[in-house]
Chain A
Amino acid sequence: MAATSVRPAARAALRCAPAALAIVLLALFPIFVTKPYPIGIGVSLFLAVLVGSAWNILGGYAGQYSVGHAAYFGVGAYTAVMLFERLHVPPWFGLPAAMLAAVLVGVVIGTITFRLRGPYFVLASIAVAEIIRLAALHFRGFTNGAEGFVVAGAPTLHLLGLELSLGTKRSFYWLTLALAVGAVLVSRAVRRARLGYLLLAIREDQDAAHSLGIGLAWNKNLALALSAALTGLAGAVFAGYTRFIDPNTVFSLTEVSVRMVLICLLGGIGTVHGPIIGAVLLVLLEAVLVTPRGLVTIGLLPSDSALVAFVGKWLSPAYLLVEGVIMVLLILFAPEGVAGLLRRVRARRRETAAAAPSPAP
């Protein structure tokens, strides 16, 4: 009895070991490397994992391709910043408030748009998010309009008696790492629970799901609430990190909404690890495309590199175009992303392994 119960537990621990090791190494990284550039890349990466996993719960599991998640990202950012700037609410309360605000906005949007299916839902999600962006630009008395907010003081996070100053890049590195790990764990738990199966069923065939006792509106809104909460959290943390927000940044269709979809498309939609792979690929790609000089500062390339000059001159101004082309190619040739490609390669290797051995006796 003891042996049978210990062995699976040990095996499970062994399977988690590489992930745990990676997290420990990532957590120790800023102690050894203090250059701001790689730390900044780390923050971008962890935020990308966070928003990718968030989008994946609704888009990947439930198959509801929202291209309007900037609404939740922006609402989260504005909620935390406005509470801090106007009412001096500490960020420790600002973060949950940002999540709650994003969920409330999400449930309102969901109730309206979940009646639509397929491309109509996608279009509606874009439209609603754009309306919110334009409203944030227009109602200046409330939102400061296009001027946005500059977060003046460095907020301090009081956590279990510790004072975590949010003034440094390193503190954001650890905070976003923890949130990214948390988001992946939430995504994994959802996938394995009853809710995960119901969402996948809705993705595969709404009528079949409905006839098997699955309430469509309820479960889609549940997925959206989880997704929006994590996205709002990411928005709030992003605002604290950049210390400046305006509607065109945090409600951006391309830089937030489409980017979240792209992270999942790159990595593999609907899998737990897809958003992690996608975040790594996209953040590295952006690092090379947008800030090629960064590679020089960490000594990867010489300062007179022709590559840096080429990228800086020709690709950086058009990185969105490059990302767009990648997105189209992915949808055409690898709709299941890198995770799907890996799965296909593994399946083929297993087939050849099964066919190759056992020559005739």
Chain B
Amino acid sequence: MALLEIRHLSKFFGGLAANADVSFSVEQGEIVGLIGPNGAGKTTLFDCVTGFHRPDRGEIRFRDVRLNGKPPEKICKLGLARTWHKVKPLARLSVLENVMVGAFARTRDPEAARAEALEQLRVVGLLPRAAQAAGGLPIGERKKLEVARVLATRPTLVLLDEVMGGLNPTESDEVIELVLALRAAGLTFVVIEHDMRAIMRISDRVVVLNSGEKLAEGTPAQVVENREVVAAYLGEAP
């Protein structure tokens, strides 16, 4: 049984199929890259999986539990957490408090939450920023904060929505190392990313979406060789 199973998922906005009959699965311990041109339906798929949209057709199962119609807070507590493409820092709270909010998904005790938050801030390298207001962080650190906050909810599967977008190459490398280290520690990831260099480096498997449909699936090497994928990104050869 795969950790996450997406079967024939469709989501319509009016007449537009944001996701059309998408199926794939994610095994425990994998890093699956999710790529596709803008508007391919990647973030919509994350929204469906995490309960922010209700799928119109198909089924999503996580650890054999059906997720369709479950509210986001229940899905988070099942161990499936996500970051946001457009980062959502709790601006007027401190960096530490932001991560504590994540930790409260698993504990009622503020001291335990504080300890957990400090640990996750250390993991992502934001410990020196702990006392600052989250709203004042530069973009690279905001992305790290998203990751720390999600880790504090103690997930089994993490959906990362472009956490490397807007980062410089050094920061981007740090995040790649972090994701690989967390995978080695037993976490599973689905990663949306536009940076192909990053996707090639971290993904075990890549799923390509285009106009809401699954276009291809395979190892990073197979996917970049795929003619349809190249055509979708660069346009048809004349």
Contact of B84 among A192, A193, A200, A207 (CB under 8 A): A207
Are the CB atoms of A212 and B91 closer together than 8 Å?
A: no
- The docked-state distance in angstroms from the alpha carbon of A197 to that of B82 is 20
Q: Max chain A CB contacts within 10 Å: which of B50, B73, B89?
A: B73
Chain B CB within 8 A of A107 CB: no
Which chain A positions have C-beta within 8 A of B110?
Answer: 192-194, 197
Residue of A nearest to B46 (CB): A211
Contact of B101 among A192, A209, A216 (CB under 8 A): A209
Are the CB atoms of A200 and B73 closer together than 8 Å?
A: no
Are the CB atoms of A210 and B72 closer together than 8 Å?
A: yes
Which chain A positions have C-beta within 8 A of B52?
Answer: 207, 210-211
Interface size on B (CB < 8 Å)? 30
Which chain B positions have C-beta within 8 A of A193?
Answer: 110
- The docked-state distance in angstroms from the alpha carbon of A335 to that of B181 is 44
Residue of B nearest to A206 (CB): B88
Are the CB atoms of A208 and B88 closer together than 8 Å?
A: yes
Chain A CB within 8 A of B12 CB: no
- The docked-state distance in angstroms from the alpha carbon of A146 to that of B119 is 61
Chain A CB within 8 A of B227 CB: no
Chain A CB within 8 A of B92 CB: yes
Interface size on A (CB < 8 Å)? 19
Which chain B positions have C-beta within 8 A of A216?
Answer: 73
Query: B33-73: which residues lie under 8 A (CB-CB) from chain A?
Result: 50, 52, 71-73
Which chain A positions have C-beta within 8 A of B200?
Answer: none
- The docked-state distance in angstroms from the alpha carbon of A126 to that of B193 is 45
Chain A CB within 8 A of B124 CB: no
Are the CB atoms of B77 and A213 closer together than 8 Å?
A: yes
Chain A CB within 8 A of B213 CB: no
Chain B CB within 8 A of A201 CB: yes
Contact of A201 among B77, B90, B109, B150 (CB under 8 A): B90
Are the CB atoms of B101 and A212 closer together than 8 Å?
A: yes
Query: A199-221: which residues lie under 8 A (CB-CB) from chain B?
Result: 200-201, 204-205, 207-216
Tell me the interface secondary structure of chain A in the complex.
Answer: helix
Chain A CB within 8 A of B123 CB: no
Q: Distance in Å from the Cβ of A360 to the closest Cβ of chain B? A: 27
Q: Max chain B CB contacts within 10 Å: which of A193, A198, A204, A205?
A: A204
Are the CB atoms of A212 and B93 closer together than 8 Å?
A: no
- The docked-state distance in angstroms from the alpha carbon of A192 to that of B113 is 12
Residue of B nearest to A207 (CB): B88
Q: Known contacts A197-B100, A198-B104, A207-B52; is A214 also within 8 Å of B73 by CB?
A: yes
Q: Known contacts A197-B97, A200-B97; is A215 also within 8 Å of B102 by CB?
A: no
Query: B95-124: which residues lie under 8 A (CB-CB) from chain A?
Result: 97, 100-102, 104-105, 107-110, 113
Are the CB atoms of B72 and A211 closer together than 8 Å?
A: yes
Are the CB atoms of A215 and B84 closer together than 8 Å?
A: no
Are the CB atoms of B108 and A194 closer together than 8 Å?
A: yes
Q: List 11 A-B contacts (CB under 8 A).
A: A197-B104, A198-B101, A204-B92, A204-B93, A207-B84, A211-B82, A212-B81, A213-B77, A213-B102, A214-B73, A215-B73
Closest CB pairs A-B (n = 5): A213-B105, A213-B76, A204-B90, A208-B88, A201-B101
